[in-house]
Amino acid sequence: MAYPAVMGVLNVTPDSFSDGGRFLVPERALAQAQRLRAEGADIIDIGAESTRPYGGMAPISAEEELRRLQGVLGETVALGVPVSIDSMKSEVAAFALDQGAVIVNDVWGLQRDRQMAALVAARNCPVIIMHNRDNADPAIDIIKDIIAFFARSLDIADGANVPRGNIVLDPGIGFGKTAEQSMAALSRLEELRVFGLPILVGASRKSFIASVTPSEPQQRLGGSITAHVLAARRGAQIIRTHDVAETVQALKVMAAIEDQG
């Protein structure tokens, strides 16, 4: 069997939950991008604003986001690996596309900045639509909520003439969800195939892992790989991870074993 594409995470922020501040300096960020490429990343996802899904995160301006990308984005594009821009702001996404990024990764699924749909339609580029909520509600059926959210996002995309073939869906593991809901989304991932669109899963180092085995983000490699292998077996076509080499190895071994079956 084919294994999913692997998207490597590059955070150029001071406050990311997993590696806050490590790659804020452009030289370090570029070195990390080179490492992600060497480890087998099919895509490098660059984000300049922390979107970690818990309280206390003050939004930053588009100007600050663009400042953080200076000296990193163009140089990463030059490495030859397709680059995705992780931003909910159309102004930032437009800048990134001008610099050579080829994918927009919107953690609010075209619903926060209504100019985003028009932008990705005009640029005819792939867009990742992620499910999100302002707050977790443990009483809801999370899969029904994700499906309803995606339906709204796809209506917005259709209204802007975004081709369906340019859309990838992401259930947003850890975003606006309890730990149990994140695990339910992974367990029931196949239900999201109702849309007939590719699915991306990013469970890397997420806090639901610590709800099962108490751990800090850097200690969650085993849980991350388990979640990603299970997601791949349930139909995920892109895996977003901080740990590229280990994830590529796990997916290749999974595929090789499946091929013997």
pLDDT tens for each residue of 199-212: 999 999 999 999 99
pTM of the model: 0.94
Q: Is a pLDDT exceeding 60 seen at residue 19?
A: no
pLDDT for residue 225 = 98
User: How many folded domains does the chain comprise?
Assistant: 1
Name the helix (H) or strand (E) containing 68.
helix 62-69
pLDDT for residue 55 = 46
Q: How confident is the model at residue 26 (pLDDT cuts 50, 70, 90)?
A: confident
Share of the chain above pLDDT 90, in %: 89
pLDDT for residue 14 = 78
pLDDT for residue 255 = 97
pLDDT for residue 52 = 59
Question: Sign of torsion, CA 223 245 198 13?
Answer: positive
What does the pLDDT average to over 126-141? 98
138-147 per-position pLDDT tens digit: 999 999 999 9
Q: 3-class SS at 6?
A: strand
Report the phi/psi class of residue 227: left, alpha or beta, with left for phi > 0 and alpha for psi in -120 to 50. Answer: alpha
Q: Which domain holds residue 222?
A: 5-259
- Look over the chain and give the mean of its residue pLDDT values, rounded to a whole number: 94
pLDDT for residue 221 = 98
Q: How confident is the model at residue 151 (pLDDT cuts 50, 70, 90)?
A: very high
How far apart are the two ends of the chain, measured CA to CA in Å?
10
Q: Is a pLDDT exceeding 90 seen at residue 196?
A: yes
CATH number at residue 196: 3.20.20.20
CA dist., res. 38 & res. 30, Å (int): 12
59-93 per-position pLDDT tens digit: 899 999 999 999 899 999 999 999 999 999 999 99
pLDDT for residue 176 = 97
What does the pLDDT average to over 182-198? 98
Catalytic residue set = 206, 240
Q: Is a pLDDT exceeding 90 seen at residue 23?
A: no
Q: Is a pLDDT exceeding 50 seen at residue 54?
A: no
Residue 9 C-alpha from the chain's centroid = 8
Nearest 10 degrees: CA dihedral of 124, 125, 131, 135? -90
Token digits for 27? Answer: 């030289």
